[in-house]
Each structure stands twice: as structure tokens, then as C-alpha cells.
Amino acid sequence: MTAPTTRSTALVHTAADLRALPRTGGRRAVVMTMGALHEGHATLIRTARASADQVVVSVFVNPLQFGKGEDLDRYPRTLDADIELARQAGADAVFAPAADEVYPGGEPQVRISAGPMGERYEGASRPGHFDGMLTVVAKLLHLTAPDLALFGQKDAQQLALIRRMARDLNFPVEIVGVPTVREEDGLALSSRNRFLSADDRRTALALSRSLFAARDRLAAQQALAARAELVPATGARAAALSALGEARAAADVHAVARAAELPAPAVVRAAARQVLAEAALTPDYLALIDPSDFTEVTDGHTGEAILAVAAKVGTTRLIDNIPLTFGGPQ
């Protein structure tokens, strides 16, 4: 185990106090959170520590990104524990503003619009969520003035929208995505996992299992397709081998031929749906997405993609995703 750090972490509540933090001219990184920090956040902070001279962690439960009937009041608030985790992970400061510090005068009349990308998938399930998220991210980028900002890839659509906002609106900041952190059994770390009962948690594992099954099926599909290019496998050849009593060889040839015919995106979707169906879990969505614009990829897609899933398990809504490469190694 890594020995606990003796770093001192300042706690600031106002923009004025944040501006007063000593800044020696090196790079500043910010990790934005809504609190209830866990190992996923610690990984973000450690990654920031390795990339910057100063690390600021914001802790702010943003009311703008909670819709009607969502869990704003239930969202866990654990500031003392958050400060300690941030300190152990290497943060120089925790910025924990009150709502009226971030939104003086109440909810802002002018907000960032997420546009069409923000209306799909998570945006369709949670109308207005991404407008509220981008608005607070923009404000926190102005308040913290970082050189780089780090976000987890578990919230893939959020990360894509933040990158798009930074590019479209010329924010002078590098947006860094950090791979999803998982528990030993594969469940993606989330502050909402604490709301799962023991039974719900077992059911929730179907989300990550569906993604891993799709990834493994794609790797197998692409290996068979590569063989098909080297040694053409036809139905006629399979039938001939079968007639000779070579059943195993015939089955192999048939699998290779089939792999060359089936579109890989369709195979991926089918593998993931099967796992969800076996767990009797109906997703809000299961989508194979082009990360550049968050539209569904076509069956002929090559290059990068994100397989994303969302579902309500018990009373808790969870999301997960995995990056895939079509036409290349996984």
C-alpha cells in the first residue's frame, strides 16, 4: 500500500479565497466533483497530481443538473470525508462553495446549451441535465482557471460534451479523460452504488457483464474475420468437410465464413442484449455510439465507438460504458 501523504490540503469556500491561493506559475489541474468521493475520484486526483503542479478539487452538488423527481435531496454529502480522501490522493485545495457563491441571485437566466448531442441518450432520459452540467462546468472553469481539467470516462456523454464546449467556446483548458475505475467484480464505481441493496447490486453487475461480453465477442468476431481474409471460408467448403465426417473442421469453417458475413456492430449489440435479458434487466438504452457526435453507429462502422448502457436497478439509475475499436485490436 502507498503510505499516506502528509500534504496539507486547504479548504476554501469562496471565489475570493480561491483566487488568494498561492500560484507559482506552474500548471493547475482541477477535478470537478459533486462530493461523496470514492476511489474513482481518487484516481482522477492522482492522475492530476502526476500532470500538474497544483491540484484543486471542487465539491459542489449542482442543483441545475437534477430534474424533477431526481435525487438532489438524497444525494450524499460527506465533506469531511471528501477532504480527507482528496488530501490522501494529493490535492492542494478543496473548493466547496455554497449555492449562492456559484449562483449569486439564484438560478442563472443565461445558461450553456448542450445542443443536439445533449438531447440524446442521457439527455433524453434526463431533459435539461446536460445544460445544467455544462453551465456549472463553465462557471467552475472560470472560477478555478485551470490549465487542465480531468473527468472520468464512465460519464462518456458528459465528457464528450465538455470537450465540445471547450472547443466550440474557446476555453483555454485541456480536457483530460481518465478510464473508468471498477470494483473487483466489474461494477463501475459510482456515488450512487451506496443506494443499492444486496440483491440490486447483484443485478447491477449485468451492466458491466453485458459490456465485457460484447467486447469479448467483438474480439472473437474480428479474429475470425481476419482468418477469413487469409483463408477464404465458404459454405460449400464447410459442407464438403461435413460430408467427409470432419464435423469439427466444418463447424470451424462455417464460423469463419459467418464472421465474414455478419456486421460486427450487430454482433456486439446482440451479445450485450443477451446478458441483460438473462438478468431480466430492461435498459433505458443500450447504444453503440460514435464518440464524436453521440449518434448510433452504422453496421459498416470502423474506428472508435462507445458501447453505453443505462438502467434503473431498484430505485437507483446506473450508467456504464466501454470503448471499442472496430477494425482494430481491443
> Would you name the residues annotated as active-site residues?
41
Q: What span, in angstroms and rounded, lies between the C-alpha atoms of 251 and 242?
A: 8
Q: Are 34 and 45 in contact (CB under 8 A)?
A: no
**Under DSSP, is residue 271 helix (H, G, I), strand (E, B) or coil?**
helix
Query: For the chain, give me the number of helices (H) and strands (E)?
Result: 11, 10
Q: Which helix (H) or strand (E) holds 192?
A: none
Q: What are the DSSP calls for 107-128, one per residue?
A: S-SS----TGGGGSTHHHHSTT
Give residues with Cβ within 8 angstroms of 144, minimum separation 6.
18, 28, 30, 56, 58, 95
Q: Which residues pair with 285 in a beta bridge?
A: 310
**Under DSSP, is residue 308 helix (H, G, I), strand (E, B) or coil?**
strand
Say what the alpha-carbon torsion angle 322, 323, 329, 330 is, to the nearest 10 degrees.
-10
Closest CA to 36 of 83, 65, 77: 77
Q: What are the DSSP calls for 22-51, one per residue?
A: ---SS-EEEEEE-S---HHHHHHHHHHHHH
C-alpha cell at 36: 461523496
Q: Which residues pair with 19 in a beta bridge?
A: none
Q: What span, in angstroms and rounded, lies between the C-alpha atoms of 32 and 37?
A: 11
Closest CA to 163 of 150, 147, 181: 150
Q: Look at the block and give the residue holding cell 443538473.
A: 65
